[in-house]
Structure 1
């Protein structure tokens, strides 16, 4: 994921800051003094020096997705902050003020500030699959940690940026609850329960999962059996009816759009096709 993010960041920088790819490199190395001395081209460097979870954005919610095997519950991704020290290095400068370097840094600052929430075209496909965006924050306030970084890298303190990217991390924590097609519950009202005795009350519930031809759940649809039992589908497209599955010969479905369809109740997962 980090490699995908950094490749996307490189594309964003070149496009948003209008930097020439044939004349300036964007790299992600530890800028030690020896590394800087070995540069042969102007270089914009993003040094990843810290990463930790953004606890303020943590979500303990589970996302639900129904499949033919049951209901899959997946823990929402965590959010991680990637902290970068951003520097520009030119082998030679126009003058002692380092104007070339600072002009590049200025354009990069504007580009990053414009992309506080990355446009979709810059977001890697692996992040889009998690249905979350990439957030970017520039902090220009003095930071004592940065001065320590320059010292540890054997560099002189120079104008720089602090850039934080907040990206999702999928922990791959999920559980599968098998879909129950028919449930029978026997209730005994007597105080004494004899082994093998029949239940005083028998509660039967059968379930069907109804989707449209695109695989999306059909919600708030009225479902009725040929013997008169009826109920509405929930947000997941599931309807529960107090009837034995084997006794149902026909299901009539009335959708919110006013379509009336007859389906075969023998199937566990019913698919409603749109009218041609």
Structure 2
């Protein structure tokens, strides 16, 4: 995905900001040694940070369907990663660099996502927007001065370009077979067991007593006599 974003950014800048010029577009680290070797007008897009865009993370699973509209598999939704580029212009005169930066800024501000006609490969097959932002304030945990210090170069006017690219590489879970029309149960040849006769030893007691015993005890309570065998 990253190389496809590189190609899309290069195509966009060459077509709309650097048209009919000999300015090169490169993706090198702007170190002190590299800057000393630049001898022609150059626009540099240095990829200095890659991190997940947590605001765009989704939960759950996406269904995949066959030609009959039956779910055959499920996969996780794409996760977006922010690719942060340090966009700089390199010429012999600072005024020319500022002019180049103005053209680059005006070009990027026309779009909130990479133009579809500049996207190719896997990104084009996904058919989803690829958000693009430029010159936003840096996160609290990072400053551009720190980036230049890490590169060992001198602080230079730059534009921060951030592209949120979707990554679809995730496990695919096979779906189970579709449910049928229902369960059919056949009762052919089944007969319930015979019910025992009242008072027989096979009859189960109700709360520990048979119905006949309960009736006998009720009559005893009404007559005031104790049942036989009881004192």
What's the CA shift for 1:166?
0.6
Q: In structure 1, which of residues 94, 98, 110 is the aligned counterpart of residue 106 of structure 2?
A: 110
Give the Cα separation in 2 of the matches to 1:176 and 1:182. 18
Are the counterparts in 1 of residues 53 and 80 from structure 2 also a CA contact under 8 Å? yes
Q: How many residues align?
A: 186
Length-normalised TM-score, structure 2: 0.71
Are the counterparts in 2 of residues 118 and 135 from structure 1 also a CA contact under 8 Å? yes
- After TM superposition, list the pairs within 5 Å mapping 1:1-276 onto structure 2: 1-20=1-20, 23-67=22-66, 71-90=72-91, 92-93=92-93, 98-139=94-135, 141=137, 145-180=143-178, 182=180, 184-186=182-184
Are the counterparts in 2 of residues 81 and 166 from structure 1 also a CA contact under 8 Å? yes
Deviations 1:74-114, CA, capped at 9 Å, x for gaps: 21100110111111111x22xxxx11111011100111111
Q: Which has the higher strand share?
A: 1
What's the CA shift for 1:184?
4.9
Give the Cα separation in 1 of the matches to 2:32 and 2:79. 35
What's the CA shift for 1:187?
5.8
Are the counterparts in 2 of residues 28 and 48 from structure 1 also a CA contact under 8 Å? yes
Q: Which has the higher helix share?
A: 2
Deviations 1:99-132, CA, capped at 9 Å, x for gaps: 1111011100111111212221122331232231
SS of residue matched to 1:41: coil
Gap change, CA 1:188 and 1:55, over 3 Å in 2: farther
What's the CA shift for 1:186?
4.6
SS of residue matched to 1:114: coil
SS of residue matched to 2:183: strand
Superposed CA RMSD? 2.6
Are the counterparts in 2 of residues 70 and 176 from structure 1 also a CA contact under 8 Å? no
What's the CA shift for 1:171?
2.5
Runs of at least 5 residues in structure 2 that lack an aligned partner in the other structure: 191-231
